[in-house]
Structure formats: structure tokens, C-alpha cells
Amino acid sequence: MPYINVGQENSGNIDLYYEDHGTGKPVVLVHGWPLSGRSWEKQVPALFDAGYRVITYDRRGFGESSKPTSGYDYDTFAQDLHKLVTKLDLREFALVGFSMGGGEVARYLGTYGTAHVSKAVFISSIPPFLLKTSDNPEGVDGVVFEGIKKAIVADRPAFLSQFLSNFYNVDTLGGNLISDQAVQLSWNIAAGASPKGTLECVSAWLTDFRNDLKRIDIPTLVIHGDADRILPISATGKRTPEFVKGSKLVVVDGGPHGVTWTHAEKVNHELLGFLGQDARSSQAA
């Protein structure tokens, strides 16, 4: 199992678990909360089949990665990602973030620039700025996040069950576009995450990414479901193109937060089409 060391806590290493498979142009997939790199199950085979090298990794505190008690902020997350990219010596790679992972994409590009990144993709993502403030009236009231924190502390496993029901809109899509077993798989992954990391990430969600997005000068795709109950499209996906010049927004009709599973065919079609645009243009020329 491949790991990269990104730090130290007392006597133990902080290591990130990653997978690096396939050949061709690299695509780095950054997962959402409270899942792991395994959540890209529907995208990885499609990318392989299209001829890409695919890199997934587990954010600190989640999946198979170390579970330290600190570092659950986007500056550290972006630094972790940068260390992985540097270790693998990636060039001309695409950076794809789902949900909370969209924050890593934004902060990484805002901090380290786009010199070696070819394209950016935000799927059901958290930018530009989730918290409602005087200069961000489209955001969500802070009391909502305080309620989430209290629910996690009170009974994390029960909270995760309720959260994932809304993650996939099980009441309307269950038995059709999402099975009970797929939801259970997500719960199993989420339940294995660090309790402290799970809690502290909620505060990280309130990071302001507006300036990071303004620095993005590469082709950018935004995919978001219009029935997203976790990160409402009006506060997130629809606003990201306001800050990223020339970006493209694709709205998934009836799509919940977890569109990468429920609407995988649509997501993969848009993702592969976007990633392959340069290649098609060159062939046409």
C-alpha cells in the first residue's frame, strides 16, 4: 500500500494513503467529506478506459490515511496535496474535486498556481464561500453548522446515517439510482474516519475561497445537481463561474449531492468530454 509522509505528530508519522494507476495524462481526484478515495468508484474505471493515469488519495483523518488531531484546515489540506503532487512529479495534470475536495482544488490553485495543472473540475463543490456574511448574503447561516457540530458530538454514527440519506436523496432516488447497500458502503467508510477530523472539518467548510477562484486561469468545469441538499447549488455551483473566468457550469437535472454515484453516466460524460477537449481539437486541426 503506497503512502506519503506529510508530517509528524509526537512519535507517529502523518501519512496519506494514495493509489496511482494507469498511464497517460494524470488526473488527481480529491474526495469529499466524510468519505475517502474509494468514493470515486464510478469514475476511476471510466478514466482508465479513456487512457488516463488516475491518482486518488485519502485526506488526512479519512480512509486509510493517518488520523492526527490537527491539520484540518484548507491551508494544510492544500499543502498535503502539494506534497503528493511533488512526490509523484506530476506535470500537466487535471485536478478534480468533489464536495469538500473542491476546497482543496481552489486553495491549491490559489496558493501554488496553475503552472503544472492543465484543467480544474469542481463537482458538487463547496466554493466559493459557504458562510452567510454581510458581503456574502447568498451563503448559509452559521447556526446550521453549529447544529451539525452538536449532532456529530452527540452521536456521530446516527448523524452520518441521516447525512448520507440527504447526500443521496434516498427518499426520492432510493431503489432506483442508489441502493441501500451503496448507502451502507458510504456509511462504513465514513464511520471509520477520525471522529475529531470529522468534526473539525465542519469549521473548514466556512473557508472563503473567492480570492482563490479568481486566480484560476486554466479551463474549469463545474458540475452540480439542482437537487443538492448538502451544498445547495444557489450558494455554490451557480456562483463559482462568477469568480472563475470562462468556466463552464453543467447542471445535473434532479441530481443530489452524490451525483458521482447516482448520475455517474452524466458526470463521466461531462468529465471525459472536458478532459479530452484539447486532444479532440488537435486531432481536428
Catalytic residues: 99, 228, 257
CA distance 14 to 81: 13
Place of cell 484548507: 74
Contact 54, 94 (CB under 8 A): no
The answer to whether residues 254 and 225 touch, using CB atoms and an 8 Å cutoff, is yes
Strands across the sheet containing 3-9:
3-9, 12-21, 53-57, 26-30, 93-98, 117-123, 220-225, 248-252
C-beta separation of 81 from 31 below 8 A: no
Give the angle 273-109-2 at the CA atoms, nearest 5°. Answer: 80
Longest dimension (CA), the chain: 60
DSSP bridge pairs for 5: 15
Residue 128 preceded by cis peptide, ω within 30? yes
